[in-house]
Structure 1
Amino acid sequence: MSSTTQAARPPGTGFLDRENTVAKAGFNRWLIPPCALAIHLCIGMAYGFSVFWLPLSRAIGVSQAVACEGMTLGSALFTTTCDWRVSDLLWMYTLFFVVLGASAAIWGGWLERAGPRKAGLVAALCWCGGMVISALGIYVHQLWLMWLGSGIIGGVGLGLGYISPVSTLIKWFPDRRGMATGMAIMGFGGGAMIGSPLADMLMRHFATAQGVGVWQTFLVLAAGYFVFMVAGALGYRVPPENWRPAGWTPPAATGNRMIATGDVHLKDAHKTPQFWLIWTVLLLNVTASIGLIGVASPMLQEIFGGRLIGADGVAFLNFTPEQRTAAAAVGAGFVGLVSLFNIGGRFFWASFSDKVGRKTMYAVILALGIALYAALIPFAASSRLLFVFVASFCVIASMYGGGFATVPAYLADVFGTKFVGAIHGRLLTAWSLAGIFGGLITGNIRDARIASGVPREAVYQPIFFTMAALLAVGFVANLLVRPVAEKWQMRQEAKGGAKPKLATVSSTAAASVGGDYGIGRGGVSGPAVIAWLAVGLPLLWGVYITLMKATALF
């Protein structure tokens, strides 16, 4: 390999610095998505932490929870003699996604400067180190240590790990922005599919008459996740400045007005109406899904009752213990199926956006969501059409995931690619708020309806209509997105003067191989096949386990 075709390395830079992650000639860009998946499949276990709640609720009693009358959330944080309630443990979810959004917003700019390798390693240390601290918290029975470990420190790892590949993938795949980010963010949705059954197996292995096996499971998962996340972080590379795939023409040249012709600086992005319109779209799309997905299992059981288990006419509240167990298995299958469509939707809708454009894709999923929530889902629920109801929610879950996966490409189209990772980090504050609003809307309406004596099968109808209204507002916000005004776009000379010279390619090399500098080619190669197998086999195992659970529905 000729030294003239390699990206220059500025003297005095460290191994983790962005300058030392610039790809050399001959590098295969298809090695980057497996690196992103390796990190996202690990941090995606945040969605699967519910597998720990019931065992942890009897961490002291083991076979039966040791309940203490009058225990408050404050006293639960420090008690060593009472078992935690599930409601105490559920705060971990809130911490996960609030800290994820906050850390992505705070350190997104640093990530762009430091590069994905350093950010990925910090994410690994925070996520896995947080699990180790949580294991200690379980061992000494201190809930505040769990909140600190996985909730706060782990939440920082979630934020950095989530956004670390976004800017890199968009720069490597300018011709397939949606597909590239969809592949990576698909891993975040798939993490629970692998982690939950694996954690269940580990807890069964470590469980004894004296303990439920959770702290040991945390340590094993932390070690395994650390290996995968470090491998992914070290595998990251960034393309040289001005790199483009061979034979590819930038979209701006095609006359697509929604594709930015320049970059908007991080400090200016939030000053534009486009940022807040897309922020609103993400907020409302997530809010309209996350609350109902969170109660998917009880919702199905309450609406369809005995129909789920071949006992038509038996209401949910009249189930025998055996019927409750059977219905819970069906509900778990529904949750697994929803999870699978959440993952598949991240790749499908993001890839679809490459064909029709990001704005059109969001218009489609928001309009389809309005139709499902306002008409088809209420009709299926009142008419007890189980297949239609399940299929409708699978589509809703796919659009929930698709909205997450497509928004980085939407931002790159509107604001350019230079600061897209940091801008995406700030936009994720919408996710943090949606996680709170979705649960509050669903929970408050559900509780109020139950308290007023409404039959369980009719409890959810107002929630469906509320979600349709939220999506309608999101639809209008998306329609209002226009190209960013030229005043916000960085001038070419300013852009060139402000940025550090991260990578250069010799003029001889550029002239001899064209705009791609001999980088990004390769497609199917030995290292790429090995990398894809390393992340693909665990993901396929998770899909298999999920499908086996989903068979209970049928």
Structure 2
Amino acid sequence: MSPPVAPPGWSRWLVPPAALAVHLSIGQAYAWSVFKPPLESALGLSGTQSALPFQLGIVMLGLSAAFGGTLVERKGPRWAMTVALICFSSGFLLSALGAATEQYWLIVLGYGFVGGVGLGIGYISPVSTLIKWFPDRPGMATGIAIMGFGGGALVASPWSAQMLESFGADSTGIALAFLVHGLTYAVFMLLGVLLVRVPRPARAAADAPAATPTGPQVSARDALRTPQFWLLWLVLCTNVTAGIGILEKAAPMITDFFADTSAPVSVTAAAGFVALLSAANMAGRIGWSSASDLIGRKNIYRLYLGAGALMYALIALFGDSSRALFVLCALVILSFYGGGFATAPAYLKDLFGTYQVGAVHGRLLTAWSTAGVLGPLIVNWVADRQEEAGRHGSSLYGLSFVIMIGLLVAGFVANELVRPVHPRHHVSRPHETKEAADERREQHESA
């Protein structure tokens, strides 16, 4: 399937909706918790077992993005979106079969493994194309698309809950809900497949700046040989770990913090807190990434990591004395979490150019896989150890918050160490003579 080239007069503003159609669909992953209690009840699972499909899905997201990134660059966005559609929808259909036959391994295989491949390929499918269409505003462009992934749960969570209420929370009802998800998302993602276009080689469109690559251009293979890639990997990993530290345990965390007060947090209020976090996650993806176009990528990550550490410190010191402070700080942390995801492709474009930015981004997402395991592990392991020691309430989380602050400080330092990529890693520019290339490298080294 060759990448469809935009005809003359094609508006670049049609590309973000195509990306959103995919990202809003695969963003359902953040609503997996809706299925946990029914699965535990219907199939006799523990909390750890019911989390397996989600955890495997996040791991496969990073791995498929890393190993499939170069193929996505070569085949183009329509091919990638088609693969994402097939895998993500098939994952739900396999899960439906698993729920209907009460074979949990099929749900893990379907949603976690097959669907996880769809997550990874779908997540990176529009990134390179958007950056090429919007070279003047890469942060805003990728923020629009990746905002969809953060906001997918706002649609999927109530929709899934309503289906389980209508169909029933037994294995048959869960199977029907999975089936409806798979078919509906296939139709919705197909809109993105049909709509997406790549820019013409000479220029993107009548209303877009020239698409000819400018600045440094580094291949995905060479990017992995630079310290800049691994510094940014550490930056993303620490920022995501800090966000997941709140997101993964949000409802029980706010309940524990105010359990000993005269007005403990109700189940409904805790669910509302989770919804607020999802909204902050989504808003941060478009808001902070757009701001990075104005103040620069390094500066915006200084904010994510420095202010994020401050927010964690405020929660650790004063969070149990003020509900408003706790909620506000958590919302800011989640906005940074979302913003970090959305700004990463633009940061990569600044460092490595647009040559294979999708493939580089795919490899960078292994940081997400690592953080997806590390964040919940830190918070849950520390809470379990503190509970065994006889502590309760906010005391369950103090040590894990200190660890998160340390990680964010490490990420802040890594961000400060990022420098422009050395010209020896640059690919040759089209029609550039050896003398011109040598002169460009000398100018870079002098600068």
TM-score of the aligned structures, taking structure 2 as reference length: 0.93
Deviates more, 1:454-463 or 1:259-268: 259-268
Q: Residues of 2 paired with 1:134 and 1:244: CA distance? A: 41
Instruction: Give 1:333's aligned amino acid.
Output: G
Residue 488 of structure 1 and its aligned partner are, at CA, apart by 0.4
Give the one of 38, 49, 59 matched to 2:42. Answer: 59
Count of aligned positions = 433
- Note closer, same or farther for the CA distance 1:367–1:207 as it changes in structure 2 (3 Å cut): same
- Note closer, same or farther for the CA distance 1:97–1:260 as it changes in structure 2 (3 Å cut): farther
Cα deviation, 1:353-374, whole Å, max 9, x if unaligned, reads 0001111110112110111112
Q: Residues of 1 paired with 2:250 and 2:147: CA distance? A: 20
Aligned match of 2:298? 359
Q: Residues of 2 paired with 1:90 and 1:104: CA distance? A: 21
Residue 466 of structure 1 and its aligned partner are, at CA, apart by 1.3
Give the one of 156, 164, 175 matched to 1:203. Answer: 164
Cα deviation, 1:148-183, whole Å, max 9, x if unaligned, reads 111101000000000000001000111110000000
- Note closer, same or farther for the CA distance 1:205–1:267 as it changes in structure 2 (3 Å cut): same
Instruction: Give 1:485's aligned amino acid.
Output: H
Tell me the secondary structure at the aligned position of residue 42 of structure 2. Answer: coil
Residue 296 of structure 1 and its aligned partner are, at CA, apart by 0.9
Aligned match of 2:319? 381
Aligned match of 1:501? none
Give the one of 377, 381, 392 matched to 2:329. Answer: 392
Give the one of 217, 220, 238 matched to 2:177. Answer: 217
Residue 89 of structure 1 and its aligned partner are, at CA, apart by 1.4
Higher helix content, 1 or 2: 2
Deviates more, 1:398-407 or 1:364-373: 364-373
Aligned match of 1:256? none
Q: Is structure 2 residue 46 aligned with structure 1 residue 85?
A: yes
Q: Residues of 1 paired with 2:183 and 2:125: CA distance? A: 21
Q: Is structure 2 residue 216 aligned with structure 1 residue 233?
A: no
Q: Is structure 2 residue 115 aligned with structure 1 residue 151?
A: no
- Note closer, same or farther for the CA distance 1:242–1:304 as it changes in structure 2 (3 Å cut): same
Report the identity percentage: 47
Aligned match of 1:267? 221
Instruction: Give 2:183's aligned amino acid.
Output: A
Aligned match of 2:380? 443
Matches within 5 A, 1:98-177: 98-177=59-138
Residue 54 of structure 1 and its aligned partner are, at CA, apart by 1.0
Cα deviation, 1:435-489, whole Å, max 9, x if unaligned, reads 1111111111111111111232322122222111110000010011000001000
Q: Residues of 2 paired with 1:280 and 1:304: CA distance? A: 33
User: Is the Cα–Cα contact under 8 Å of residues 59 and 212 in structure 1 kept in the other structure?
Assistant: no
- Note closer, same or farther for the CA distance 1:465–1:494 as it changes in structure 2 (3 Å cut): farther
Q: Residues of 2 paired with 1:235 and 1:247: CA distance? A: 18
Q: Residues of 1 paired with 2:315 and 2:156: CA distance? A: 31
Deviates more, 1:128-137 or 1:440-449: 440-449
Give the one of 256, 261, 281 matched to 1:302. Answer: 256
Q: Residues of 1 paired with 2:155 and 2:304: CA distance? A: 27
Give the one of 318, 326, 330 matched to 2:269. Answer: 330
Aligned match of 1:46? 29
Instruction: Give 1:17's aligned amino acid.
Output: S
- Note closer, same or farther for the CA distance 1:247–1:340 as it changes in structure 2 (3 Å cut): closer
Residue 291 of structure 1 and its aligned partner are, at CA, apart by 2.3
- Note closer, same or farther for the CA distance 1:192–1:247 as it changes in structure 2 (3 Å cut): closer
User: Is the Cα–Cα contact under 8 Å of residues 260 and 483 in structure 1 kept in the other structure?
Assistant: no
User: Is the Cα–Cα contact under 8 Å of residues 381 and 389 in structure 1 kept in the other structure?
Assistant: yes
Cα deviation, 1:481-532, whole Å, max 9, x if unaligned, reads 0000010001114899xxxxxxxxxxxxxxxxxxxxxxxxxxxxxxxxxxxx
Instruction: Give 2:420's aligned amino acid.
Output: P
Q: Residues of 2 paired with 1:49 and 1:393: CA distance? A: 21
Cα deviation, 1:401-441, whole Å, max 9, x if unaligned, reads 00000000000110000100010000000000001111111
Cα deviation, 1:174-232, whole Å, max 9, x if unaligned, reads 11100000000000011111011111111122128x75611001111111100011111
Instruction: Give 2:245's aligned amino acid.
Output: G
Q: Residues of 2 paired with 1:29 and 1:136: CA distance? A: 40
- Note closer, same or farther for the CA distance 1:416–1:119 as it changes in structure 2 (3 Å cut): same
User: Is the Cα–Cα contact under 8 Å of residues 203 and 212 in structure 1 kept in the other structure?
Assistant: no
User: Is the Cα–Cα contact under 8 Å of residues 241 and 375 in structure 2 kept in the other structure?
Assistant: yes
Q: Residues of 2 paired with 1:87 and 1:47: CA distance? A: 17
Q: Is structure 2 residue 362 aligned with structure 1 residue 420?
A: no
- Note closer, same or farther for the CA distance 1:93–1:494 as it changes in structure 2 (3 Å cut): farther
Give the RMSD, CA atoms, in angstroms.
2.1
Tell me the secondary structure at the aligned position of residue 457 of structure 1. Answer: helix
Q: Residues of 2 paired with 1:409 and 1:421: CA distance? A: 11
Deviates more, 1:237-246 or 1:469-478: 237-246
User: Is the Cα–Cα contact under 8 Å of residues 103 and 159 in structure 1 kept in the other structure?
Assistant: yes
Q: Residues of 1 paired with 2:211 and 2:306: CA distance? A: 26
Q: Residues of 2 paired with 1:233 and 1:491: CA distance? A: 32
Q: Residues of 2 paired with 1:265 and 1:378: CA distance? A: 43
Residue 264 of structure 1 and its aligned partner are, at CA, apart by 0.2
Tell me the secondary structure at the aligned position of residue 136 of structure 2. Answer: coil
Tell me the secondary structure at the aligned position of residue 41 of structure 2. Answer: coil
Rg larger in structure: 1
Q: Residues of 1 paired with 2:70 and 2:391: CA distance? A: 50
Q: Residues of 2 paired with 1:350 and 1:364: CA distance? A: 12
Matches within 5 A, 1:428-507: 428-493=365-430
User: Is the Cα–Cα contact under 8 Å of residues 31 and 153 in structure 2 kept in the other structure?
Assistant: yes
Tell me the secondary structure at the aligned position of residue 484 of structure 1. Answer: coil
Cα deviation, 1:1-26, whole Å, max 9, x if unaligned, reads xxxxxxxxxxxxxxx312xx110101
- Note closer, same or farther for the CA distance 1:287–1:109 as it changes in structure 2 (3 Å cut): same
Q: Residues of 2 paired with 1:182 and 1:249: CA distance? A: 19
Give the one of 293, 306, 310 matched to 2:247. Answer: 293
Residue 379 of structure 1 and its aligned partner are, at CA, apart by 2.8
Tell me the secondary structure at the aligned position of residue 483 of structure 1. Answer: coil
User: Is the Cα–Cα contact under 8 Å of residues 56 and 212 in structure 1 kept in the other structure?
Assistant: no
Q: Residues of 2 paired with 1:250 and 1:115: CA distance? A: 19
Tell me the secondary structure at the aligned position of residue 481 of structure 1. Answer: coil
TM-score of the aligned structures, taking structure 1 as reference length: 0.75
Instruction: Give 2:251's aligned amino acid.
Output: S
- Note closer, same or farther for the CA distance 1:247–1:49 as it changes in structure 2 (3 Å cut): closer
Q: Residues of 1 paired with 2:120 and 2:200: CA distance? A: 26
Aligned match of 1:349? 288
Residue 58 of structure 1 and its aligned partner are, at CA, apart by 2.3
Q: Residues of 1 paired with 2:9 and 2:205: CA distance? A: 12
Cα deviation, 1:277-334, whole Å, max 9, x if unaligned, reads 0001001111112022111111111111254xxx34xxx7xxxxxxxxx711111111
User: Is the Cα–Cα contact under 8 Å of residues 133 and 211 in structure 2 kept in the other structure?
Assistant: no
Q: Residues of 2 paired with 1:240 and 1:213: CA distance? A: 48
Q: Residues of 2 paired with 1:363 and 1:92: CA distance? A: 34
Aligned match of 1:322? none
Aligned match of 2:348? 411
